[in-house]
């Protein structure tokens, strides 16, 4: 097991790679949540939704290109290649507290489903859930955009499905050349 050693003078234990990953992702998601909260307080939920979705999508386009470069992956031209890459990406960016699964129920379809949603829980706590527009699936859209993969999404919703339906999912129909 790979571990990350802290400074020689540190009294902290060495962190295992998985522990470090979990810590970094939780800190990143806390930043994201605090940014959303303060934007909501300053701008209201309507403007915050617009800014949040744009920020997540543009971040994801950069993120996916960095991951692709780090893994030395060329163009994703087939669904089979995409499936393996999706596994690699989720192994990098998904933390244990992110309760979502994805599968490939048919050719060129990626089904993503939330069992629980940390965004839903947080937005509900700040009192904005009635008008919240999901930013989580914008990340996936940004990945596909960044990879140059055309897609369509069903269902088309503007509200939080977890709040309205008690479940949340999207089906991405991907188009490969």
Q: How confident is the model at residue 48 (pLDDT cuts 50, 70, 90)?
A: very high
Rounded-to-integer distance, Cα 71 and Cα 88, Å: 9
What's this model's pTM, rounded to 2 decimal places? 0.88
Residue 14 is predicted with a pLDDT of 76
Residue 86 is predicted with a pLDDT of 97
Residue 175 is predicted with a pLDDT of 97
pLDDT, the chain, mean: 92
Going from N- to C-terminal start, the domains of the chain cover 14-175
pLDDT at 9 over 80: no
pLDDT at 173 over 70: yes
Tokens of 107: 């050719």
Residue 108 is predicted with a pLDDT of 98
Residue 158 is predicted with a pLDDT of 83
Tokens of 93: 């960016």
pLDDT at 53 over 90: yes
Q: Which of 67, 161, 54 lies closest to 113, judged by CA?
A: 161
Residue 15 is predicted with a pLDDT of 81
Q: Which CATH class is domain 14-175?
A: alpha beta
Average pLDDT score over residue span 83-109: 95
Q: How confident is the model at residue 10 (pLDDT cuts 50, 70, 90)?
A: low
Residue 12 is predicted with a pLDDT of 55
Average pLDDT score over residue span 102-128: 95
Distances (CA, A) of 54 to 12, 59, 84: 38, 8, 27
Q: How confident is the model at residue 3 (pLDDT cuts 50, 70, 90)?
A: low
Say how far residue 139 (Cα) sits from the centre of its chain: 5
Note the pLDDT tens digit of each residue in 126-158. 999 999 999 999 999 999 999 999 999 999 998
């Amino acid at each position: 097991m790979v571990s990350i050693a802290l400074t020689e003078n540190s009294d902290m234990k060495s962190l295992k790679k998985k522990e470090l990953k979990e810590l970094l992702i939780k800190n990143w998601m806390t930043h994201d949540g605090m940014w959303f909260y303060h934007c909501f307080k300053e701008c209201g939920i309507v403007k915050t939704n617009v800014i949040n979705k744009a920020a997540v999508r543009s971040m994801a386009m950069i993120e996916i290109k960095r991951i692709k470069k780090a893994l030395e992956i060329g163009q994703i031209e087939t669904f089979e290649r995409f499936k393996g890459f999706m596994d690699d990406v989720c192994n990098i960016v998904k933390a244990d507290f992110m309760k979502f699964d994805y599968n490939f129920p048919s050719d060129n379809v990626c089904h993503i489903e939330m069992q629980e949603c940390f965004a839903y829980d947080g937005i509900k706590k700040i009192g904005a859930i009635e008008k919240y527009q999901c930013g989580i699936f914008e990340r996936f859209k940004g990945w596909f955009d960044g990879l140059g993969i055309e897609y369509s999404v069903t269902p088309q919703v503007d509200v939080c499905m977890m709040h309205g339906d008690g479940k949340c999912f999207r089906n991405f129909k991907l188009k490969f050349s």
